[in-house]
Structures are given as structure tokens and as C-alpha cells.
């Protein structure tokens, strides 16, 4: 175990990289190494994370260097060169090294997407409704975003988890594209919703806030530990209009309730998060994508009967592969004649989402357009 008196930021980052594996991804290794280093100043802890993710962002360029330290130095040089002038890294090189070869079978690998993957991601906050202006005043380093009024970019150096505003539930750390999902659901106060893959509650908190804490949201997940975290987060955010239930994604549903809206924020390959989580580029396989596509289809099929006539079904994934996006949506359309595509510009999504809306019933949010994660959203309305 490292002690902070003796070790520098780069030595701690090297320790994280050495303890990372397929079973222990970089973010888990980071938490493990940083946990005993409680006295490490927040700025230094953030620098450790930056160095680790920089390493994995440039991973395929580093293979000829011997040792983690030399590789980290090369990653930093490449990142600085790219930041100063992206054209110094030829596009052909990015195409060959920034993403695994299987991506070309699954999605459009555009130059803009490739370049976005090599930049450092922004840190997004979602302010509670009506609290954005106060946060801008009170949290130095916070900036407004032109996209949604409650979305803020944070570029400060304070440990956000230690701020009084965080403990008062005034904001959540939530990617911009995840915020788009809540806005596209557009739940109304007093409605009944089911967040079927609620996980640790990122989208649930947003739905609850949009519903002004009125009505009811069923929050299910198959991981009990995730629902425990969700409960802690809802307590802090003072979101009370929900009920948590375990659900393994199978045909036996947690409730017989018919819902005004069901959100399936499904498990996915996470290709849309590859800027933030670059190590996943080298641990995710085409087989994972195919297996996840099957799970996603099953989840939608199982929840569909729980949507009321006239109610909405929203499917979201933070990935961009065809198998998990358009092909899942198309399979659902073909198998469910009792649902019609919900065109977002005609009744799905609150007005803040105008910038995203198209005349289609599916939306693909690309990282290079949004500045957030990549995300795919499809929605249907159950026929009356």
C-alpha cells in the first residue's frame, strides 16, 4: 500500500495501472488505491485519475515502451501534442489505434468521433430544478451549458463530494447525455413510472425531480447493492416518490402495475463512454455486444405489457453499436404491433430538448456533437 508522504502523483498512477486488469477495471483499481490515501489533496487525486485515463486513451501507442513509467510519459507527450494540435496525430493512425477493429462492423467510425475519443471528457453536473444559478454563484469553476438549463460543466478543483451543496442534494454528477434521457422521458408530476434498470439511480433522481416528487416511480434492478446505493442517493437528494424492488430482468415482473411510462436504461457495451472510460475499448468484445443485444431485446419484451394504453416506453443505452441500438429498436417494432414509434418532436421530450429533436423516433447523441457520452434513445407509445 502506498503512503502519500513518500509517493508522487505519477507513482500512485503507476500503481493503479499495475493493479488494473480485465477483472479489475481502471476505475475500480483507482478507488482501491486511493481509498487508504484519504489525505491526498483532491487536486492530486484528480491528477492521478487523469494520468491513468490518459494512459489508456493512448494505450495502443505505448506498446513498444518498456515499463509503466516510460509508457505514462509517452502518453502524456501524445496527449499534449494532440491537445495543442489534433492534426499532428494522423487520422489513419487514430483509425488503426484508437478503437478496436470490430467497431467498423458496428457503427460509423467518423473522423470527428475518433478525435473526440482522444480528448479529456468534461465533467457534467445536473442542478436540481431552479438551483442552477445558485450553484454557478457558489461553486467556483462551474459554467453554464448552452444545451440544457440545468446542465453545468465543472472545471474547478474542489472535491465536489465534500461541498455543502452536494450534501444538500442541490446537484448530481450526471453526464449531459444521461440528462437528455430524463428530459426525453418527460414524466409529469403525479404519473406512475417504472425505471426498470434503475441501477444506482442516476436517471431515477432526474425523473423524480422532473415529477416534482409527485406520483410514483418503481425503481428495479437485479443488483441489490446498486439499489442500496440508490437509496442513499435518494435520501440525500430528498427524492421520495419511488419504491425500490429487485428484478432480474425475467418474465416474472416485480409488480402488476400498468405504467404511464417505462424507462429501460439497459445494460450495454458502453461504447458511448469510451472517452471517459478508455480502458473499456480494449476489454469489450464483439461477443459482449451480441450477448447484450439479446438481453436488451428480452428486457423490452418483458416490460412491454406493463405500459398502459397511451403510455410511453423509452429505451436508452450509452452505446453506439448497431446490434444494441437500431437493431434492438427494429426488432421491437416488428414484434409489437400494439406500440407505435413516439416521435420526440411530436410529444416526447420537454422543450429544453429541442436541440436534440428530429422527426424520427430514435435519437443518437454523438460525443463530438454533445460534449457528453454517446447515447441512443428510442421510444414508443402503446396504442389505445
Ligand X SMILES: C[S@@+](CC[C@H](N)C(=O)[O-])C[C@H]1O[C@@H](n2cnc3c(N)ncnc32)[C@H](O)[C@@H]1O
By annotation, the residues acting in catalysis are: 318
DSSP for 206-217 reads: HHHHHTTT-SEE
Nearest distance from C-beta of residue 27 to ligand X, angstroms: 14
Nearest to 100 by CA among 280, 268, 277: 280
Nearest to 206 by CA among 186, 221, 236: 186
Of 117, 265, 275, 315, the one binding ligand X (CB under 6 A) is 265
151-154, strands of its sheet edge to edge: 142-144, 151-154, 123-127, 171-173
Which range touches ligand X (CB under 6 A), out of 18-26, 66-74, 118-126, 246-254?
Answer: 246-254
DSSP 187: -
Is 372 a binding residue for ligand X by CB under 6 A? The answer is no
Burial group, residue 245, by CB count within 10 angstroms (0-12, 13-18, 19+): middle
Which range touches ligand X (CB under 6 A), out of 43-51, 120-128, 136-144, 242-250?
Answer: 242-250
Of the two residues 41 and 305, which places its CB atom closer to ligand X in the complex?
A: 305
Is 226 a binding residue for ligand X by CB under 6 A? The answer is yes
Of the two residues 118 and 306, which places its CB atom closer to ligand X in the complex?
A: 306
Of 95, 119, 222, 231, the one binding ligand X (CB under 6 A) is 222
Of 15, 175, 186, 221, the one binding ligand X (CB under 6 A) is 221
The Cα 117–Cα 380 span in angstroms is 31
- Taking CB atoms, the residue at the shortest distance from ligand X is 249
Cβ atoms of 87 and 52 within 8 Å: the answer is no
Considering only residues 196 to 215 of the shown chain, the ones binding ligand X according to CB under 6 A are 197-203
Task: Give how far Cα 89 sits from Cα of 56, 61, 97, 172, Å.
Answer: 16, 11, 11, 35
Which range touches ligand X (CB under 6 A), out of 8-16, 65-73, 194-202, 334-342?
Answer: 194-202
Of the two residues 94 and 121, which places its CB atom closer to ligand X in the complex?
A: 121
The Cα 200–Cα 219 span in angstroms is 10
Is 165 a binding residue for ligand X by CB under 6 A? The answer is no
Query: Cβ–Cβ contacts within 10 Å for residue 304, how many?
Result: 18
Backbone dihedral region for residue 286 (phi beyond 0: left; psi -120 to 50: alpha; all else: beta):
alpha
Nearest distance from C-beta of residue 300 to ligand X, angstroms: 11
Is 175 a binding residue for ligand X by CB under 6 A? The answer is no
Of the two residues 73 and 222, which places its CB atom closer to ligand X in the complex?
A: 222
Applying CB under 6 A, the site for ligand X has a residue count of 19
Of the two residues 118 and 323, which places its CB atom closer to ligand X in the complex?
A: 323
Is 248 a binding residue for ligand X by CB under 6 A? The answer is yes
Cβ atoms of 157 and 42 within 8 Å: the answer is yes
Residues near ligand X (CB under 6 A) are 178, 197-203, 221-223, 226, 247-249, 265, 267, 295, 299
Amino acid at each position: 500500500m502506498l503512503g502519500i508522504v513518500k509517493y508522487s502523483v505519477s507513482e500512485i498512477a503507476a500503481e493503479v495501472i499495475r493493479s488494473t486488469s480485465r477483472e479489475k477495471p481502471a476505475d475500480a483499481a483507482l478507488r482501491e488505491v486511493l481509498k487508504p490515501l484519504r489525505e491526498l489533496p483532491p487536486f492530486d487525486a484528480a491528477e492521478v485519475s487523469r494520468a491513468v485515463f490518459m494512459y489508456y486513451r493512448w494505450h495502443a501507442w505505448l506498446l513498444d515502451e518498456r515499463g509503466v513509467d516510460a509508457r505514462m510519459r509517452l502518453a502524456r507527450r501524445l496527449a499534449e501534442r494532440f491537445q495543442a494540435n489534433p492534426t499532428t496525430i494522423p487520422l489513419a493512425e487514430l483509425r488503426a489505434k484508437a478503437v478496436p477493429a470490430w467497431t467498423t462492423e458496428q457503427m460509423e467510425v467518423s473522423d470527428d468521433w475518433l478525435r473526440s475519443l482522444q480528448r479529456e471528457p468534461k465533467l457534467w453536473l445536473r442542478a436540481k430544478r431552479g438551483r442552477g444559478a445558485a450553484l454557478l454563484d457558489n461553486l467556483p469553476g462551474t459554467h453554464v451549458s448552452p444545451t440544457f438549463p440545468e446542465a453545468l460543466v465543472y472545471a474547478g478543483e474542489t472535491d465536489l463530494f465534500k461541498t455543502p451543496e452536494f450534501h444538500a442534494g442541490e446537484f448530481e454528477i450526471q453526464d449531459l447525455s444521461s440528462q437528455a434521457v430524463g428530459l426525453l422521458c418527460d414524466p409529469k408530476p403525479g404519473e406512475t413510472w417504472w425505471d426498470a434498470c434503475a441501477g444506482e439511480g442516476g436517471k431515477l433522481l432526474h425523473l423524480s425531480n422532473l415529477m416534482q416528487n409527485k406520483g410514483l416511480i418503481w425503481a428495479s434492478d437485479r443488483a441489490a447493492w446498486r439499489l442500496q446505493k440508490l437509496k442513499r442517493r435518494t435520501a440525500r437528494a430528498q427524492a421520495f416518490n419511488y419504491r425500490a424492488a429487485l428484478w432480474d430482468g425475467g418474465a416474472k415482473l416485480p409488480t402488476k402495475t400498468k405504467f404511464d411510462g417505462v424507462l429501460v436504461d439497459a445494460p450495454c457495451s458502453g461504447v458511448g463512454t469510451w472517452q471517459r472510460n478508455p480502458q473499456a475499448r480494449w476489454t469489450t468484445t464483439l461477443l459482449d455486444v451480441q450477448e447484450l443485444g439479446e438481453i436488451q431485446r428480452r428486457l423490452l419484451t418483458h416490460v412491454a405489457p406493463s405500459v398502459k394504453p397511451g403510455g410511453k416506453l423509452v429505451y436508452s443505452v450509452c452505446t453506439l453499436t448497431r446490434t444494441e441500438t437500431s437493431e434492438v429498436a427494429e426488432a421491437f417494432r416488428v414484434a409489437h404491433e400494439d406500440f407505435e414509434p413516439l416521435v420526440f418532436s411530436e410529444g416526447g421530450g420537454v422543450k429544453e430538448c429541442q436541440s436534440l429533436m428530429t422527426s424520427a423516433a430514435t435519437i443518437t447523441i454523438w460525443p463530438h456533437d454533445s460534449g457528453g457520452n454517446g447515447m441512443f434513445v428510442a421510444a414508443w407509445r402503446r396504442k389505445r
